[in-house]
Amino acid sequence: MKAVRIATRQSPLALWQARHVAGLLTQQHPGLEVSLVEMTTAGDRFLSAPLSTVGGKGLFVKEIEQSLLDGRADLAVHSLKDMTSVLPAGLLLAAVPRREDPRDAFCSPNGLMLEMLPQGARVGTSSLRRSCILRSRRPDLEIVSLRGNVQTRLARMRELELHGAVLAYAGLKRLGLETEISEVLPTTLSLPAVGQGVLAIQCRTEDAMVRSLLAPLEDATTRVAVTAERALMARLEGGCTVPLAGHATVDGGIVHLRGLVGRPDGSKVVEGERSGPVEAAHAVGEALAEELLSRGAAEILRDFGRSKPVPES
């Protein structure tokens, strides 16, 4: 094969990620021609409407996936965090490259740290998970919805004169915006979203040629971590309707997974952790999900699940 087409969204972060994968591919396969097929998705089109009215987590990926199924592109690069737990028939998560730093970052126009925020400070995010975690630690904070791409959110933070905003460190880093960060939040404080910091490279299951081109981009450790995290998410109904966090690390053949489900206002949080051999990553995720469900997550899902599909952002 001499040429491959990569489907991508047009946001600066998506383009960075697609070009990054194009670079990895040409590095592995000198002479391979790689082009980008830039697309606008429903998630990019309906920026003004509340997320709950325009669709769920798949919003940013559905049209890209359709372009693979239609044969308009050969592979797609997504943020794994934006992907639903069930992939469409005929498509496969062919490779996950090595994970970028999965932590959240607190950005503040005045360089404030989270603990220094005054009573009632206003903090921007549109992620249910981040709202829940922030409010559970600081019930006095006012959470202000921030949507759009990374740069848009930072600009809105300033316009609205917020005390700060929480974004993914990985996105800021990729865009060269680390100077905006006043504090990288430890995972013990802000447990990351399932798949945060991971790039997902997707292709048609039957496309053996593209699969073999992508094989060298795979990072086995990252795959183990995301297998555990996504098994947790799948068992908790996809996780796009209630605050859900899941983060796994791998050390010496053992995968260690932490998970959290909470009420959007942070008034209740159920947290837990599980470890197991890397071969059992999927079972570790499912077991932690069962444990969280039995300890109160089931009630949270019953009260807040399904009605309001909102993607992590």
Ligand X SMILES: NCc1[nH]cc(CCC(=O)O)c1CC(=O)O
Write down the least CB distance from residue 11 to ligand X, Å: 9
Q: Which stretch binds ligand X (CB under 6 A): 75-83, 133-141, 227-235, 268-276?
A: 75-83
Q: Which residue's CB is nearer to ligand X, number 80 or number 288?
A: 80
Write down the least CB distance from residue 241 to ligand X, Å: 15
Q: Which stretch binds ligand X (CB under 6 A): 79-87, 214-222, 270-278, 295-303?
A: 79-87
Among 5, 9, 57, 81, binds ligand X (CB under 6 A): 81
Fill in the per-residue mask, 33 to 72: x = in contact with ligand X (CB under 6 A), - = not in contact. ----------------------------------------
Beta strands in the chain, from DSSP E residues, in sequence order: 3-9, 33-39, 75-79, 91-95, 104-107, 122-124, 142-144, 164-168, 181-185, 199-204, 244-251, 254-262, 269-277
Backbone phi and psi for residue 135, each to the nearest 5 degrees, phi listed first: -70, -30
Beta strands in 169-243, from DSSP E residues, in sequence order: 181-185, 199-204
Q: What is the DSSP string of 48-114?
A: SS-HHHH--GGGGTHHHHHHHHTTS-SEEEEEGGGS-SSPPTTEEEEE-PPPPP--EEEE-TT---G
146-165: which residues touch ligand X (CB under 6 A)? 150
Active site residue 82: yes
From 82, 104, 207, 251, active-site residue: 82
Write down the least CB distance from residue 236 to ligand X, Å: 18
Per-position b or e across 93-102, b if 16+ CB within 10 A of its CB: bbbbbebbeb
164-203: which residues touch ligand X (CB under 6 A)? 167-168, 170-171, 196-197
The residue to which tokens 């447990």 are assigned: 191
The residue to which tokens 């730093």 are assigned: 101
Q: Which residue's CB is nearer to ligand X, number 60 or number 204?
A: 60
Q: Which residue's CB is nearer to ligand X, number 74 or number 82?
A: 82
Residues near ligand X (CB under 6 A): 79, 81-82, 150, 167-168, 170-171, 196-197, 312-313
